[in-house]
Amino acid sequence: MRIERVKLVFMPGFVIEFVDRGRGIKQVLKWCVEGTWHPVVVYGPEGCGKSSWLKQTVEILKGYGFDVIYVDPLRREYTAYTDVKEVITRITEVIADTTGYIPIKLADLVISLTNQLLKKWGKKRVALLVDDVFQAIGLERVETYVKGLLNIIEYPPEIYERIVVIATTSEGLSRARIGRHRWAWLMPMWNMSKDGFKELYEKLPRVKPPFEDVWRLTGGNPEILKMLYQSKWDVSTVIEAVIEFKKLRSLITSLSDVERKWLSEAVDDPDTLFTRERVGLLNKLVELNLIVDDLPSRNSPNWLDEPPPKKDLEVGIGEYIAWQTPIHREAVREVLKTPISF
């Protein structure tokens, strides 16, 4: 089967075709044949390409005869491939609603609609893809929502042929809550492989820095690449944007002298955080989506796509802990240089 590559808006006025993620695409093809036995929760760095992969997944599932619902509750985006017009109508009505918190309404609605595709409209192949849902609904609802996704698979209102249920998250703390139960299958995704990222880099128009320089700044993260491109490759502008968005000055001011020392060591090697006395600092960094902790073995079959190298300190990757991107690390390094003043 020939896979049609989706076109993605990389930035305003610049559309590209989906690139890379060969191993991740093979995993989707497997699910098309076997379905998912549990909801699959894909986690990884912010901006690493989870949304792009999920949109490509929509196209593949459609080609295998699935009725597909894709929603991004936080951004109020959706795609529905189904001949049931009521599905599209009800989603658009919720998005247009001005009462209540729409992301939660939308996240809950698509579970209901997936069940109705099975029961009311007699569909046999159904897929539900929910993008960055846990940030949208809040950490307090993570476990309940995952159980709702599992119920679609385990307790369907009608017998089905195949179901695929996938959710993605960049929210570091949500993984710990999901991991308390056996309700979902957690799969990590990392930033793009070096070869795949180079393919994306080469599509960029205008003069650009040498690829190796860009790689050392991004670690293969498409969102950081976009930020650098939009800032005309002004690295200091992008670092300052991360500092402000993550409120790093407030974070580092709140730390004790010992914690600042630990953080400084982690800038050089993130694995130094992997000790009992430093776990409190580690959790703060996970909560702010600055690092990804407890990385699985690189030989684990659970990696959705190509895993990061076992250790590459040049781009901030340790064996067990990694900075989400080198820019995140450099933003922390920059703030650490500033003396604390009260």
Which residue type is seen at 69?
Answer: I
Nearest-angstrom CA–CA distance, 323 and 231: 22
Predicted pLDDT of residue 19: 86
Indicate whether 204 belongs to any domain.
Answer: no
* pLDDT confidence bin for 127, thresholds 50/70/90: very high
Judged against a pLDDT cut of 80, whether residue 342 lies above it is answered with: no
Say yes or no: 177 and 230 in one domain. Answer: no
pLDDT, one tens digit per residue, over 272-320 is 999 999 999 999 999 999 999 989 999 999 999 999 999 999 999 999 9
Average pLDDT over residues 99-114: 92
Indicate if 157 and 297 belong to the same structural domain: no
- The closest of 67, 46, 70, 45 to 56, measured between CA atoms, is 70
The domain boundary, picked from 188, 211, 234, lies at 188
Least reliable range by pLDDT among 4-8, 178-182, 191-195: 178-182
pLDDT value of position 174: 76
State phi, psi for 29 to the nearest 5 degrees.
Answer: -60, -35
Residues 165 and 16 occupy one common structural domain: yes
Flag whether 212 is in a domain: no
pLDDT of residue 172: 73
Domain that holds residue 289: 219-336
Residues 171, 252, single domain; the answer is no
Residue among 298, 296, 294 at smallest CA distance from 283: 294
> Is the pLDDT at 34 greater than 70, yes or no?
yes
User: Is the same domain home to 254 and 177?
Assistant: no
Q: What is the CATH number of the domain that holds 154?
A: 3.40.50.300
195 domain residue, yes or no: no
Total number of domains in the chain: 2
Q: Are residues 248 and 321 in the same domain?
A: yes
Q: Both 182 and 224 in a single domain?
A: no
25 and 148 inside one domain? yes
The reported pLDDT for the residue numbered 206 is 83
- What totals of helices (H) and strands (E) does the chain contain, helices first? 15, 10
Instruction: Tell me what pLDDT residue 20 has.
Output: 87
Statement to judge: residues 172 and 242 lie in one domain? no
**341, pLDDT greater than 70:** no
Average pLDDT over residues 183-199: 94
Q: Residue type for 116, please?
A: Q
Contact, 20 vs 192, CB < 8 A?
A: yes
Q: What angle do CA 222, 164, 155 make, to 5 degrees?
A: 140
In a domain, 206, yes or no: no
pLDDT in tens, 209-240: 999 999 999 999 999 999 999 999 999 999 99
What is the per-residue pLDDT for 294? Answer: 87
Identify whether residues 68 and 120 lie together within a single domain.
yes
Q: Regarding beta strands 7-11 and 14-17, do their DSSP bridges make them parallel or antiparallel, or are they unpaired?
A: antiparallel
Render pLDDT for 239-264 as a digit per residue (tens, 0 to 9).
Answer: 999 999 999 999 999 999 999 999 99
For the chain, the residue count is: 342
Same domain, 147 and 95: yes
Do both 175 and 242 map to the same domain? Answer: no
The answer to whether position 203 is within a domain reads no
